[in-house]
Structure 1
Amino acid sequence: MASSSGTSSGSSMIQNSGSEEELQALMDQRKRKRMISNRESARRSRMRKQKHLDELAAQVAQLRSENQQMLTSLNLTTQRFMIIDAENSVLSAQMGELSHRLESLNEIIDFVNATNGVFAANSFVDPIPSAYYLNHPIMASADILQY
């Protein structure tokens, strides 16, 4: 019986050894599948990363283009502002000058009105009847600016 138990133990070692080889082959196969899966996952990750970088590069190009358009628009607007500001300064100066002229002319009219009797007494000839300009204030006109 001892020999039979030795024989059965020897054959079970052979069976265990066969099972271990199959188990090792199965583990190797799983390891290879996992390695292939990991490589594929890494490849997909690199592709996603590249796609994201491409999208960001396109967005940078678009934003640079928009920025350039805004700068061009800002420059045009600034130039227009400077032109209008210069025109406004000229018009303000002209308005001040015309207001001063109008004030001087109205003072002359007031003086003429106040001294109307004196001129008549001194026998000055008035080619324009005094009723014409005494009752009409002098108004500034843009036509005066056409020198």
Structure 2
Amino acid sequence: MASSSGTSSGSSSLLQNSGSEENLQALMDQRKRKRMISNRESARRSRMRKQKHLDDLAAQVAQLRNENHHILSSVNITTQKYLAVEAENSVLRAQVGELSHRLESLNEIIDFLNTTNGVFGPAGPTTTSSFELDNGFFNINNSLNMAYMNHPIMASADILQY
């Protein structure tokens, strides 16, 4: 009988060992599932952070493109205004040159008349109230009346091609 009681106690210890192994295996499976769930959750959060970062970068790209478009438009408008001012400046420079040349010519005429006949200053004993010369060129009643000197010489932007 001793052997039967020994066998029965041996089989119960085997049952206890297998029960503790099953509990250990169940505990390990439970930890494994927890770790797997935790890893999945961590991966999901990582994907969400990555997606948010990509969305933020896409929004920043859109904003920078919009700013770039506005800057390019502003540069184009400024360039057009600059070219218009430059063209107007060229016309004005040409007009200044023409007017300076006309003034120089008129001053030469006045100097010539002053030195030869004394028309615009005291030159001799004769005084006339109508600036008449012997040949009648500067007669106020003369039909020419220096009309050619009263016409402006104008330069236009069409003449000045770049």
Instruction: Name the TM-score, length of structure 2 as normaliser.
Output: 0.67
SS at match of 1:128: coil
Tell me the CA shift for residue 8 of structure 1.
5.0
The whole-number CA distance in structure 1 between the counterparts of 2:79 and 2:114 is: 51
Tell me how many residue pairs correspond in the alignment: 129
The one-letter code of the counterpart of 1:77 is T
Give per-residue Cα distances to partners, 1:109-147, cap 9 Å, x unaligned. 2222222369x78x9x78339xxxxxxxxxxxxxx578x
1:37-116 paired onto structure 2 within 5 Å: 37-116=38-117
The whole-number CA distance in structure 2 between the counterparts of 1:127 and 1:103 is: 25
Paired position in structure 2 for 1:17 = 18
SS at match of 1:127: coil
SS at match of 1:86: helix
SS at match of 1:21: helix
Paired position in structure 1 for 2:141 = none
SS at match of 2:131: coil
The one-letter code of the counterpart of 2:51 is Q
The whole-number CA distance in structure 2 between the counterparts of 1:81 and 1:60 is: 31
Give per-residue Cα distances to partners, 1:80-118, cap 9 Å, x unaligned. 111101000000000000111111111112222222369
The whole-number CA distance in structure 2 between the counterparts of 1:40 and 1:66 is: 39
1:128 aligns to 2:127 (yes or no): no
The one-letter code of the counterpart of 2:111 is D
Tell me the CA shift for residue 40 of structure 1.
0.8
The whole-number CA distance in structure 2 between the counterparts of 1:47 and 1:79 is: 48
Give per-residue Cα distances to partners, 1:13-59, cap 9 Å, x unaligned. 33222111111000000000011111111111111111111111111
The one-letter code of the counterpart of 2:57 is L
Stretches of structure 2 lacking an aligned partner (at least 5 in a row): 133-151, 155-162
Paired position in structure 1 for 2:136 = none
For CA contacts below 8 A with separation 6 or more, give which structure has more relative contact order: 1
